[in-house]
Structure 1
């Protein structure tokens, strides 16, 4: 009798406390592994001390409500990757200690209002990769400790204003890859601890200006791959902790200059694949951007001040746009580590790109030269020889001085007619002044001579011989840079194949050239010989 009693007790304990279903593997009476067993029903006889239960990767289609009775110590339950289409509303009623529940990759179509009732300890709930089209307003009401909720890849079409109302501890909310077209203005208003909100890959066309109001803890907001054409200027105004914002793959045609105002923590911004064409020069003011994605947005121009103040900017993606010209000043003021410029129709026939070449040559990048190529070719901008662009800083100053001295010594001018020579450094001003004087003598016999001289200057073809021939003719050339300054030197100047390396010069001879021209004009008009 005594031995029979012990045997009965052993069988009872084995099947309840220390037991393990024959089709499962158990460890220490707390971890039960029944996954990948091709099960169509849940085995019975789980130890009441179980804390981990793995039933994933089976063929379960439904749960009747009694399978997990008495498992009050269970912390971790995996039911993912089955064929579950229906769950009894009482199935989880006894799991008051449950912290992690995996129901992803099943065939669920709806969640009723009492399914998760009493699961106040739940930390993570995965419902992604089902066929959910409806979630009851009260479905998550009791999940007051929930931190992670995934509803990704379902068939949801809208988000109501109350479904997330009680989730004050929620940290991550994943709603991407659904069919959402409408988001209630109050949908997220109670998410006081939210850090990551993902609404990507839906059908959202418009969002209310107050939909993110009060989300001061939000650090990552993903809105890419929707159908938005515009954003309210105030939509992000409360997101002072936001670090990453993704707006790529939408249909946005214009961004208000203040839309990112107040995003003082923003470090990553993605706008690629939007038909923007232009960006306001003040668009990024006040942010702390380190990485910005601006490729494939049909940019035709880029303001030299568009990145002004972004002292921490390190990664800039501008490839696959329609830029024919890019001012090197765009990238001044921060230390770039990565710059992408490929697949832009950069016009290397323009001397304006010479400065960009010089900038890229002196830039230390992860991938070197930004892969900037000349339009229609594989020629890198940094390797292109700007043969038609002569650096204006190479014109001979001393040659002009020598010419002026020779001319002055051969001309007798009454004391009252002497023209005072003042230093002039702006060649453009010189040309304009001379043209103004020309207007007063256009009817004189020498007007064609004067006009020829001025034309030579304005077309940058003037040589010192055009002013006054001298026995010691010196070959000089007026060359071009971005600032159009004129200088001179006594050394004969030979045009280089690529003058981009010549970066220094002076303008002391310009005043002398101006004086000589003015003297010549006045003497001719006044009849002095």
Structure 2
């Protein structure tokens, strides 16, 4: 009854305004003569009306009928009444953050040009297949943060051009298999932060063009085989904050075109390597805030097109094995951020990534970083801030690198005399280095270690075979003395004449000088 009275009053006002507009000489003058409510900004040149926080409790009926953009957010409007029908040229309407409880049937019947409708942050508890009747050109519908509980069959079928539908942060627990029937052009769907207990797989096949799906922060903990069957064109999938503990071997089998996957803030105890192997075209993976301890060798095998990897807030992550990124040679950005137990990287853990440009190691537990952990020549940006870095001679290579490249400044946490000092401001002497060239130190250390090892081996050998060595030396000395005696006797027994006869030579006759 109250709605009927309100509609009669509204119609009378509309007729009155129409009568005035007919008497005025031109549309621009008519627009200027019509009333702009207190607290609103009305522009008759751009046909934009902006009424934010204007304490409105009804939709204004004194605006220029030619307006195209109407912003009424952050007011106290409780319903969409017949006044809306007076503005037939509207293309954009924002009624977010009001007190809307319901939307009467055919409220938008005359808004055939409307392209975007924002009804988020209201108190809508139900909608039906006639709620949005007349919105033939609508491409964006935002119903986020309301009290919707279920989606019935064909509820959006009267919106043939809809491309983006936001149903996040409602109380939806039930979705009919044909709820999205007719949305052949839908590209983006938000179903996150609802009360779904399972992935609404039966409702997906009717959305052949869907490219982006947000379905995280629901109450399902398991992804069965072919969870996203029918979404072959899906490019972005957000499953964050869903409490997922288990992913079936073939859960992602249908997502052959997926480019971006968010699995952050779940309860995965290990990297789902085999499950991810179906996503050969994946370019961005966010998988932090899970419960795995190690990134094993080949953790992301088959993801040959991966360009960005984000592992943020993995509270149990302690170890990254060498070869974890063996198949990911196209990686350009790696974010290892706020992993409070991550203290060490295996030497060479990030080697073999020729396209790596940005390495973010912020807010971890690194005290030092080996030079061999990554190929530094191609790196353009390194972040090591908020780590307990120990500035000693082992970081001389990083000091030299920081002076060569424009890297994020690294601050020392220890020793005490260097605390809070930028690494870039220090010298090799500050780091306690005896030699300025780290390669020279390596050579010297290697030589010394090798010499010690060689001497130790030789000493062990001599000690183990000392008896044999002693006997060998005795035999050698005895034989040498025997040979010397024989040679001496041999030399004494041979006269010059015997030597001459034995060699078959005649003695040389000496000719006296007088005969000459």
* In structure 1, C-alpha distance between the alignment counterparts of 2:26 and 2:222, rounded to whole Å: 56
Which residue pairs with 1:439 in the alignment? Answer: none
Which residue pairs with 2:456 in the alignment? Answer: 462
TM-score, normalised via structure 1 length: 0.65
Which residue pairs with 1:63 in the alignment? Answer: 80
Is the helix fraction higher in 1 or 2?
A: 2
* In structure 1, C-alpha distance between the alignment counterparts of 2:63 and 2:449, rounded to whole Å: 96
Which residue pairs with 2:125 in the alignment? Answer: 109
Which residue pairs with 2:428 in the alignment? Answer: none
The question of 1:394 aligning with 2:447 is answered: yes
* In structure 2, C-alpha distance between the alignment counterparts of 1:372 and 1:81, rounded to whole Å: 42
Of residues 366, 384, 397 in structure 1, which corresponds to 2:381? 366
Unaligned 5+ runs, structure 1:
1-6, 400-455, 470-516
* In structure 1, C-alpha distance between the alignment counterparts of 2:53 and 2:363, rounded to whole Å: 49
Of residues 312, 325, 331 in structure 2, which corresponds to 1:307? 325
Which residue pairs with 1:133 in the alignment? Answer: 149
* In structure 1, C-alpha distance between the alignment counterparts of 2:85 and 2:387, rounded to whole Å: 66
Unaligned 5+ runs, structure 2:
1-16, 397-430, 435-440, 477-516
Query: Is contact 2:156-2:183 (8 Å) kept?
Result: yes
Q: Cα deviations across residues 316-358 of structure 1 (Å, max 9, x unaligned)? A: 3345254565322221111432141753477x8xxxx8xx245
RMSD: 4.0
What is the CA-CA distance between 1:84 and the residue it aligns to?
1.0
Of residues 389, 395, 400 in structure 2, which corresponds to 1:382? 395
* In structure 2, C-alpha distance between the alignment counterparts of 1:229 and 1:525, rounded to whole Å: 73
Q: Cα deviations across residues 453-503 of structure 1 (Å, max 9, x unaligned)? A: xxx96xx8717566669xxxxxxxxxxxxxxxxxxxxxxxxxxxxxxxxxx
The 1:123/1:309 distance shift into structure 2, 3 A limit, reads: same
The question of 1:267 aligning with 2:300 is answered: no
The 1:314/1:525 distance shift into structure 2, 3 A limit, reads: farther
Of residues 167, 179, 186 in structure 2, which corresponds to 1:163? 179
* In structure 1, C-alpha distance between the alignment counterparts of 2:475 and 2:445, rounded to whole Å: 34
Considering Cα pairs closer than 8 Å and 6+ residues apart, tell me whether 1 or 2 has the greater RCO: 1
SS at match of 1:113: coil
The question of 1:326 aligning with 2:349 is answered: no
What is the CA-CA distance between 1:151 and the residue it aligns to?
1.7
What is the CA-CA distance between 1:205 and the residue it aligns to?
1.5
Q: Cα deviations across residues 226-246 of structure 1 (Å, max 9, x unaligned)? A: 111011222222323322211
Of residues 239, 242, 248 in structure 2, which corresponds to 1:232? 248
Which residue pairs with 2:213 in the alignment? Answer: 197
Query: Is contact 1:23-1:34 (8 Å) kept?
Result: no
Of residues 28, 41, 44 in structure 1, which corresponds to 2:61? 44
Of residues 79, 86, 105 in structure 2, which corresponds to 1:89? 105
SS at match of 2:141: strand
Query: Is contact 2:186-2:207 (8 Å) kept?
Result: yes
SS at match of 1:68: helix
* In structure 2, C-alpha distance between the alignment counterparts of 1:63 and 1:369, rounded to whole Å: 54
